[in-house]
Chain A
């Protein structure tokens, strides 16, 4: 795979608390993405980045924010976690906005 790590791998938190998930890549890929995976929905795009400090919203961006201060790191923040944000979160990277994406191992987040 493309040298993508995600941290933490598992997290349990309480409703209303802030949560930040980190994605780190060593491939120098321009594009980075955050998806969430829920049963029966496949993967849905939350936010993506097309360069340092350049980000845009995806299909399910409400309640999430992102930041990318350097090429290798893409942070996903839940400002005030809700139970509906319990999910598995995947980071992906790519060299082109329309070609193959490489996925990290995922973060399982549980909001109680």
Chain B
């Protein structure tokens, strides 16, 4: 069965410092992996996705994530945080072998950015 674990429920950084949001996954087959962002009182926006083409995936707004099969991890990083990055981030897995079963969401990591 698929599952996703976001290792931190809350991360706080200062503006201009690096961001690291950690995600481990479990999947029986070759997974698709996603990071979505949700700003307060908004819907979810796709940041980036991994679908086996390249292990380092670049997304919008300077975010990137690296797929590490040996560690079953898909951590999200950004070199320099901006105040506008404050939001909730979801790591998500989709099992390619089970069409229509939708996405499995982690419980989310709230990113706070201070000036």
Contact = CB atoms under 8 A, between A and B. Distances in A.
Contacts of A102: 46
Nearest to A88: B41
B100 A42 contact: no
Interface residues of B, number: 24
Contacts of A74: none
A98 B95 contact: yes
Interface residues of A, number: 27
B96 A98 contact: yes
B99 A96 contact: yes
A97 interface: yes
Given A97-B99, A98-B95, A99-B32, A42 B43 contact: no
12 contacts: A31-B100, A43-B103, A43-B105, A45-B103, A56-B100, A96-B99, A98-B94, A98-B101, A101-B102, A101-B103, A104-B43, A106-B42
